[in-house]
Amino acid sequence: MTQGIKDKIIVVTGASSGLGEATARLLSAEGATVVLGARRADRLQALAKDIEGHGGKALALETDVTRRDQVKALVDAAVQNYGRIDVMINNAGLMPQAPLEQLKVDEWDRMIDVNIKGVTYGIAAALPHMQRQKSGHFVNVSSVAGHRVGPGFAVYAATKFAVRALSEGLRQEVKPYNIRTTVISPGAVATELLDTISDPAAAAGIRSFYQQVAVPADSFARAVAFALSQPPEVDINEILYRPTKQEL
């Protein structure tokens, strides 16, 4: 599987835990150099140190994806230190769940800022470098909620539908530059994403569901590795996966 991964320079947002951390570890083990961005600098530095302790190459930079300048600085650091960026993984995300009638507008705004604008900032930061290189690969993270909407998930689902729309538009526009695009939509995966749910009833319900069906975060990492490991002429545009036990 190291084809398409070994020696690549890969930027990962939301890398301090969950999907991002698992992906950084797997891609590093496959020979990639990983450039890690997240808000929690202490955990990010600990991850980079651990990767290096296992013989990998990692660079960590505190990054809030709602800040365009910080996302640009993360990508620019990859190019300045290693000469290029081969893969941009726009992974950072939030999932506060609650019925619309609770009017958690601040949470809606935060989801839009992280889940949508964070992806657009990642695209804006990496695209000029990839255009110049005439190569590159974007991996954007959506969700099963980007394919179907359930009660309490309206705004979260809207942000994840948006990620799919952005990814498809990007796919069509980057053909002249030999750039590939993949959007991955996981189902229930055991991460800290549930910690962003502030409504007690919603949190209890979703935690119970996840305890029954959720799969480990390395399931996502393997999906990323599958997309990256394809030969250059193969562009895996979309992966939707769920735990085998998950019905919805």
Tell which residue, 1, 3, 2, has the closest CA to residue 231: 3
Q: Closest Cα to residue 127, out of 75, 164, 166, 162?
A: 75
Amino acid type, 94? L
Tell me if residue 177 is catalytic: no
Q: How far apart are CA 142 and CA 90, in angstroms?
A: 10
Close Cβ partners of 146 (under 8 Å, ≥ 6 residues apart): 157, 160, 161, 163, 164, 185
Q: What are the two backbone dihedrals, phi and then psi, of residue 237, each rounded to the nearest 5 degrees?
A: -85, -30
**SS3 of residue 13 by DSSP:** strand
- Catalytic residue, chosen from 82, 121, 156, 210, is 156
Taking the C-alpha atoms of residue 178 and residue 193, their distance in angstroms, rounded to an integer, is 33
Beta strands (DSSP E) in the chain are: 9-13, 33-38, 57-62, 87-90, 136-141, 179-186, 238-241
Terminal CA-to-CA distance of the chain, rounded, Å?
31
What span, in angstroms and rounded, lies between the C-alpha atoms of 222 and 233?
A: 20
Residues recognised as catalytic:
156
